[in-house]
Structure 1
Amino acid sequence: MMRLASLIALAIAAPVSAQTIAVTHAEAWTLEGETPVCDATIVIADGKIVSVTPGGAVPDGATVIDARGRPVTPGLVNAATQIGLVEVSGSGDTRDMASADERNAAFDMSSALNGNSTLVSLARADGVTRALIYPAPSRFAPFNGEASMARLRDGVEILDAADVGVYAVIGGGAWDRLGSRAVQWAALRKALVDARPALTPEKGKGKKGKHGGPPPPGRRAGEALIRAVLRGDVPLAIQTHRESDIRQAAALVREFGIRVVIIGGTEAWRAADVLAAAKVAVVLDPQVNLPGSFDQLGARQDNATLLRRAGVAVAIGQAGGAIHSNYNAGMALREGAGIAVANGLSWIEALRAVTTAPLAIWGRGGGTLTPGADADLVVWDGDPLEPSTNAVRVIVEGRAVSSRSRQDVLAERYKDVR
């Protein structure tokens, strides 16, 4: 019995080898070009795409998924969300998106990610396989903390990469205790300037805290985070909407030589030329058609179109506390992309804005259906940018995962109730 129990334990602990999957008769949108590969066979092994071939052969022993001529795309990526951190906004024990600890400048919320959240399975059922998870405002103004990338695989462990960006909020209503946004910008610039000497060990050596000793651990961690931005290891993400603030964010690129990503960017279209010149990417929500604040008076639904015409990298996400930043993060993503198309963005550019663009913006790369790429893909029963379309099969890291949500379970449970 002891030996049997040991063998069972080892079997549970051992990694399961990734299966070989062949998706046949697919309209494969590889994103290498503007058109799909028709009647494609997509071969997947060891978590990677092996080949995408028109009428290709199926390897012996492969699990076959017949797409029946339907669209197959890379897995969708929400470029700004809080799924896995927030379950019910009105319940404090399900909100893990912010730090109330002023000593923790480098707030890392990745350990709070909950893959068992019903909102994770809901997003996955809508074809989302990866998502950028951002922190809400903490007490350490003007920075919120670190952003992370989640992989919406089955199970509780969904962290894909921690510390993929440093997150800050600038604008009306943000950091009210700092006062004017001029103070907010001054605080952000001061943090960047103060961290510069520490980039050179000799210059930073011996830096003292306010009582003569070394800086407290939280402050040191915060400075290390900012140095990562100054070195170009990760981007500085600034959630802001007003044109004047967006231009200030672009100015940071010239002043410090850093990478900047604008989150929200309702009035970004007004500074499209400046953003393009500074290579500042924008993560926006095309559903925003009315101002939610005085910072958003310039709201318009062709924001993404105007930015792309100017050469600005654009991805789609939901930020700033809107309900879709956690609930319906998949449906809102697809609907937003469809609205962008209705307002002038090409269909293929909209698909890129929810696949390859977010991964490029956050420094991950990939997101295509090409040999060697990560095998994250979705089989759809129609146009993926149409809200009424369903994800028929979802594959994450080369494995077919559940596309059933809690809503599906409840619908099945009560469908025969009169």
Structure 2
Amino acid sequence: MIRSLAIALMLLPALASAQDLAITHAEAWTMIGSGTGAGKVSDATIVVHDGRIVSVTSSGAVPAGATVIDVGGRMVTPGLMNAATQLGLVETGSADETNDKSSSNTTLGASFDIQYALNSNSVLLPVARADGLTRAVSYPGAAGTAPFMGQAATIHLTETGDILERPQVAMYVQIGSATLSAAGGSRSAQWQLLRNALTEAGRYQPGKPDQPISRLDAEALQKVLKGQLLVILTQRESDIRQAIALAKDFRLRVAVMGADEAWRCADALAAAKIPVILDPMDNLPISFDQIGARLDNAAILGKAGVRMAFYASGNTIYLSYDAGEAMREVAGLAVANGLPYDQALAAMTQGPATIFGLSDHYGTLAKDQDADLVIWDGDPLEPGTYPWKVFVQGREASLETRQTLLRDRYAKPAALPPVYQK
């Protein structure tokens, strides 16, 4: 037994080196710093050990025994993060039995928590991962408890195990015409309900009967009062300014989502350090809340210094289906309308990581960060570009999906249809 132990100890260095990965000759976009081309390292060597980044250096040395992948000048970025999805919650929007994004239970308002419904076996997860997405926010949908939607979670698109990364990362509320009826028909009522709920949560006394707020909602909102992010889904300038005022009055961490008219108050958002989660494709006046929508919303916000994170809705289709590819396309649209390229990449990596509290381990290609990496076969903001390889915590992920399996099965010429083949 002693001899076996000695042999095992001798093998430890070899086993450690076998876990090393070196990606060489890369154009690495580290997402560190700011300014045009900030953080770009040419002819980079990216060294990974035990699922974490060790170094990113130009023409750097390769550790002895490391697995080497020569990417031949291809672009490498952190794995992308979509700031607003319903991955793991919605499989098919038209099939209620696959839809867990919201609840009609009026006893669950602010306290509705999506973490318990996340489906790690959703067939939409491999599709998103194959498009370069390794992390996402999964958030609740509109409910009958306006303005409250519930609590969101961040998910990690690993191939095995639970996708839940951090539960209760943010509380979501929706203000605007889409939820007016549930709040009595007036935006003023929506804001009053929100302000009153926060006030009552602060006053809540456990065990005391006949309080105006339920124990579950009070406990959920107390987290917001103590620093949990409050995401306000709204579009109109007047409502965005109300969100700024709310953050100041209650000393809250607030982010605004949707925000089609955010350009009108970009300087105020920057001064208040309130980030914006937006879909650059949502640029038409399709409702009276969005009369001021415009193509260069993101560019104006970026110039003002507002931190941003991107998502793609497509009338809610892309919140679950094609959540990776669609987000890259809307980022490209933002660049086409004036947003600097590096800021668009940041809005899919470092930006959402910072907003949702993941920047201690994800969002940049920096030492000790999770080795979530995407090697691209071209410019990731071009619709025709796809990942060449995807790594999740240093492990290469399969790019195979149900769709590619069907393609390969039916695209092959054969004497008999696939159903008759063994």
Q: TM-score, normalised by structure 2?
A: 0.88
Higher mean alpha-carbon deviation, 48-57 vs 337-346, is at: 48-57
C-alpha contact (below 8 Å) 1:29/1:71 kept by paired residues: yes
Secondary structure, in 3 states, of the residue corresponding to 1:149? strand
Secondary structure, in 3 states, of the residue corresponding to 1:173? helix
CA distance in 2, matches of 1:309, 1:58: 39
Corresponding residue for 2:9?
none
Corresponding residue for 2:210?
209
Corresponding residue for 2:366?
370
Corresponding residue for 2:127?
122
Corresponding residue for 1:157?
162
Higher mean alpha-carbon deviation, 292-301 vs 381-390, is at: 292-301
* 1:191 equivalent among 183, 197, 212: 197
Corresponding residue for 2:6?
none
CA distance in 1, matches of 2:51, 2:310: 26
CA distance in 2, matches of 1:205, 1:408: 54
* 2:329 equivalent among 308, 322, 335: 335
Task: Give how far 1:158 is off.
Answer: 0.7
Corresponding residue for 1:280?
274
Tell me the amino acid that sits aligned with residue 199 of structure 2.
Answer: V
Corresponding residue for 1:409?
405
C-alpha contact (below 8 Å) 1:18/1:46 kept by paired residues: no
Deviation readout 1:290-335 (Å, 9 max, x if unpaired): 1232111111111011111112111101359521111111111101
CA distance in 2, matches of 1:413, 1:395: 26
Higher mean alpha-carbon deviation, 361-370 vs 371-380, is at: 361-370
CA distance in 1, matches of 2:392, 2:229: 26
Corresponding residue for 2:222?
227
Tell me the amino acid that sits aligned with residue 379 of structure 1.
Answer: I
CA distance in 1, matches of 2:326, 2:337: 16
Secondary structure, in 3 states, of the residue corresponding to 2:330? helix
* 2:51 equivalent among 30, 47, 51: 47
C-alpha contact (below 8 Å) 1:239/1:320 kept by paired residues: no
C-alpha contact (below 8 Å) 2:146/2:179 kept by paired residues: no
Matched, 1:26 2:26: yes
Matched residues, percent identical?
A: 51
Tell me the amino acid that sits aligned with residue 223 of structure 1.
Answer: A
Deviation readout 1:51-110 (Å, 9 max, x if unpaired): 112222322332222211100000101011111111110001111100122222311111
Higher mean alpha-carbon deviation, 155-164 vs 338-347, is at: 155-164
Secondary structure, in 3 states, of the residue corresponding to 1:385? coil
C-alpha contact (below 8 Å) 1:264/1:319 kept by paired residues: no
Tell me the amino acid that sits aligned with residue 107 of structure 1.
Answer: F
CA distance in 1, matches of 2:283, 2:224: 32
Secondary structure, in 3 states, of the residue corresponding to 1:78? strand
Tell me the amino acid that sits aligned with residue 168 of structure 1.
Answer: V
Matched, 1:313 2:271: no
CA distance in 2, matches of 1:160, 1:318: 21
- Following superposition of structure 1 onto structure 2, how do residues 11-410 of structure 1 map, counting pairs within 5 Å? 19-33=19-33, 34-105=38-109, 106-155=111-160, 157-178=162-183, 179-198=185-204, 204=205, 207-209=208-210, 219-232=214-227, 234-319=228-313, 322-365=316-359, 366-410=362-406
Corresponding residue for 2:418?
none
CA distance in 2, matches of 1:398, 1:225: 35
Task: Give how far 1:289 is off.
Answer: 2.4
Task: Give how far 1:416 is off.
Answer: 2.0
CA 1:143/1:321 → structure 2, altered by over 3 Å: closer, same or farther? farther
Task: Give how far 1:139 is off.
Answer: 3.0
Task: Give how far 1:206 is off.
Answer: 5.0
Higher mean alpha-carbon deviation, 145-154 vs 395-404, is at: 395-404
Tell me the amino acid that sits aligned with residue 181 of structure 1.
Answer: R
Higher mean alpha-carbon deviation, 131-140 vs 237-246, is at: 131-140
CA RMSD, Structure 1 to Structure 2 (Å): 2.0
C-alpha contact (below 8 Å) 1:19/1:399 kept by paired residues: no
Deviation readout 1:244-297 (Å, 9 max, x if unpaired): 111111111111110111110011111112211211111001112212321111
Task: Give how far 1:18 is off.
Answer: 9.6
Structure 1 stretches (4+) deviating beyond 6 angstroms? none
Task: Give how far 1:156 is off.
Answer: 5.1
C-alpha contact (below 8 Å) 1:264/1:318 kept by paired residues: no
Q: How many residues align?
A: 391
